């Protein structure tokens, strides 16, 4: 999904790629200090698109409720924490 999103957004926009292990910047979204450091390095920006979080890769019929909840929690709770950090910094 990240590559498709990049292909869509890159024409006509300045896009900064950030990842856990790849990209122009690296960030650990579960670590507040890492998120703060990222925002300090990138400076102000107009928009943030996030495709972060943990996910279980398995056939659909093998996914458990725990797999589903971990995926949802890691995406929404971390994104929420990160956005409030952003508001404090900017």
Give the pLDDT confidence score for residue 86 in this predicted structure.
47
Contacts of residue 24, defined as CB under 8 A and 6 or more positions apart, other chains included, come to 16, 17, 18
Helix (H) or strand (E) holding 24: none
Topology of domain 2-89, CATH: Rossmann fold (3.40.50)
Contacts of residue 9, defined as CB under 8 A and 6 or more positions apart, other chains included, come to 15, 49
User: Residue with structure tokens 């998120």?
Assistant: 35
Give the pLDDT confidence score for residue 11 in this predicted structure.
92
pLDDT of residue 88 exceeding 60: no
Give the pLDDT confidence score for residue 90 in this predicted structure.
46
Secondary structure (3-state) at 46:
coil
Tens digit of pLDDT for each residue in 4-61?
888 898 898 999 888 888 889 998 887 889 989 999 999 888 888 877 777 888 898 9
| Statement: the pTM of the whole predicted model exceeds 0.75 | no
Pick left, alpha or beta for residue 47 (phi over 0 → left; psi -120 to 50 → alpha; otherwise beta). Answer: beta
């Amino acid at each position: 999904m990240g590559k498709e999103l990049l292909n869509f957004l890159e024409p006509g926009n300045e896009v900064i790629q950030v990842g856990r292990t790849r990209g122009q910047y690296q960030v650990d979204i579960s670590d507040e200090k890492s998120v703060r450091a990222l925002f300090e390095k990138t400076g102000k920006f107009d928009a943030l698109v996030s495709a972060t979080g943990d996910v279980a890769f398995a056939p659909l019929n093998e996914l458990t409720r725990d797999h589903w909840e971990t995926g949802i929690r890691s995406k929404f709770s971390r994104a929420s924490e990160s956005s409030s950090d952003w508001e404090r910094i900017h």
